[in-house]
Amino acid sequence: MLKVKPIDTKGFSYSPGLQLLRGLAALMIVFLHLGVAEARYGSSGWQYLEGFRVGAAGVDIFFVISGFVMMLVINNKMISPVLFLKNRLSRIYPNYWIYFLIVVLVWLIRPGWVNSSLSGTPDFLSSFLLFPSSGPPVVSVAWTLEFEVFFYLVFTLFLWVSRKYLAPLLISAFTVLVLLGVIYQPESLLLERLTHPLLLEFSAGVFLGRVLMSRQIPGAWLTIPVAVLIFTFYQIGAELTQIIPVGIHLERLVNFGIPAFLLVLGIVSLDMKYEIAYPDLFIKVGDASYTLYLSHILIISASGKLYQAMGLNEILSNFVFIMGMLALCVLSALLAYQYIELPLLTCVRKGLKKPSK
């Protein structure tokens, strides 16, 4: 049910639709990895998620949301750069370290179970710090967190320089870095990360934040079906880069970054104009999306091995496998969010607020 909101003269403050979108992004990534697990642990019958490539776009949606939300954070409160960075890093690291330690423990017992599809030996210190390294990350999905941490560091730097001009400074800096990366194509993984086109997705979110904080864009909700169509066409092989030819380094930015930008624009614009009663379950999945993102591969891998060992792949269809794994991933994430992530974050934040003696 849609109910038109009264005009808010103080500007935009919160978008519940973003929680819905976070949940959607996390589920897209879960389905992407369920497709891999289906081929590995499921039956030899019909493969329901074979070729589900568009699931990778969940990462790009997360990046655009991150840029937007950071502008929302600094718009609603006069937060110092130091406190901002502490809050951001406390949001990323403590919960991540739990899954990092679980994977390390598994690696010590059965090394072949950890990132078996990736070559090389994990760099444990770099993975612990979320610093780019030549080895595979201990937690396979943690490569995206390296981008998040870099974004927070740059955001904090420009927040220190100028709150008023933060958006243009950050967008300009990331644009220059990406251009340097496209021109010089650095071989160093660190330099490749620092000049990666994905940085422009954070910039896109920051730009949206700057524009939408104070004004509505008439008809912007129409970008939602456009984004869905772009994603759908990509899945069936009609990629946007067939219309917008770019170099290989910018293909992901065009195929995933553009529709991710349009999706966030449309959802936030809807929330600015209407009071929407989103399904509570989807909002809760959005709240737990970070834990779902970190935990789902562990859940799928462990459960898939057990599923295969029990011979269930011989008597049950892959549809049952997919639905069972999906339910297990979501349920475990909701519980872990409620009883691990939230208490841990509360404890860490209280510790950060204590005055030093």
Range in 20-29, 207-216, 307-316 the model is least confident about: 207-216
**Which residues have a Cβ under 8 Å from the Cβ of 184 and sit 6 or more positions away?**
195
What local confidence, expressed as pLDDT, does residue 349 receive?
A: 87
Q: Is the pLDDT of residue 266 over 70?
A: yes
Q: Is the pLDDT of residue 107 over 90?
A: no
What local confidence, expressed as pLDDT, does residue 123 receive?
A: 84
Q: Are 193 and 168 in contact (CB under 8 A)?
A: no
What local confidence, expressed as pLDDT, does residue 165 receive?
A: 94
Kindly indicate the confidence band of residue 5, based on its pLDDT and cuts at 50, 70 and 90.
Answer: low
Range in 11-15, 32-36, 157-161 the model is least confident about: 11-15
Q: Give the C-alpha separation, 192 to 209, whole Å.
A: 27
Q: Is the pLDDT of residue 41 over 70?
A: yes
Residue type, 224: I
Span 244-265, average pLDDT: 95
Span 1-24, average pLDDT: 71
Q: Are 274 and 72 in contact (CB under 8 A)?
A: no
Kindly indicate the confidence band of residue 13, based on its pLDDT and cuts at 50, 70 and 90.
Answer: low
What local confidence, expressed as pLDDT, does residue 75 receive?
A: 85
Quick one: tokens of 202?
């954070």
Q: Are 12 and 214 in contact (CB under 8 A)?
A: yes
Kindly indicate the confidence band of residue 218, based on its pLDDT and cuts at 50, 70 and 90.
Answer: confident
Kindly indicate the confidence band of residue 135, based on its pLDDT and cuts at 50, 70 and 90.
Answer: confident
The mean pLDDT value of the chain amounts to 91
Q: What is the pLDDT of residues 142-187, one digit of tens each?
A: 999 999 999 999 999 999 999 989 999 999 999 999 999 999 999 8
Query: 270: how many CB neighbours lie within 10 A of its CB?
Result: 16
Query: 193: how many CB neighbours lie within 10 A of its CB?
Result: 18
**Sequence-ordered alpha helix ranges (H) in the chain:** 16-41, 57-76, 81-109, 124-129, 143-161, 166-184, 189-194, 199-212, 223-235, 251-252, 258-273, 280-287, 289-309, 318-336, 342-353
Angle at 335 between CA 334 and CA 339, to 5 degrees: 120
Angle at 201 between CA 199 and CA 202, to 5 degrees: 70
What local confidence, expressed as pLDDT, does residue 113 receive?
A: 72
Span 34-53, average pLDDT: 93
Angle at 235 between CA 229 and CA 236, to 5 degrees: 90
**Which residues have a Cβ under 8 Å from the Cβ of 205 and sit 6 or more positions away?**
63, 64, 65, 66, 67, 68, 69, 70, 71, 261, 264
Span 293-307, average pLDDT: 95
Contacts 24+ apart (CB under 8 A), 306-311: 307/41, 308/41
Q: Is the pLDDT of residue 9 over 70?
A: no
Please give the residue that has the higher pLDDT: either 122 or 316: 316
Query: 36: how many CB neighbours lie within 10 A of its CB?
Result: 16
Burial class of residue 274 (count of CB atoms within 10 Å of its CB; 0-12, 13-18, 19+): middle
Residue 331 CA from chain centroid, whole number: 19
What residue segments make up the domains of the chain, in order of their start?
A: 2-21+62-288
Quick one: tokens of 129?
């710090």
Q: Is the pLDDT of residue 303 over 70?
A: yes
Q: Measuring CA to CA, which residue among 257, 272, 280, 294 is closest to residue 20?
A: 280
Q: Is the pLDDT of residue 2 over 70?
A: no
Tell me, yes or no, if the pTM score tops 0.85. yes
Range in 95-99, 106-110, 160-164, 337-341 the model is least confident about: 106-110
Span 288-309, average pLDDT: 95
246's enclosing H/E stretch is: none
Mapped onto helix, strand or coil, the DSSP state of residue 3 is: strand
Q: Residue holding tokens 């939602």? A: 224
Q: How large is the angle between the packed helices 280-287 and 318-336, nearest 10 degrees?
A: 70
Q: Give the C-alpha separation, 35 to 162, whole Å.
A: 45
Q: Is the pLDDT of residue 288 over 50?
A: yes
Q: Measuring CA to CA, which residue among 335, 211, 220 is closest to residue 271?
A: 220
What local confidence, expressed as pLDDT, does residue 30 receive?
A: 98
Share of the chain above pLDDT 70, in %: 93
What local confidence, expressed as pLDDT, does residue 215 receive?
A: 80
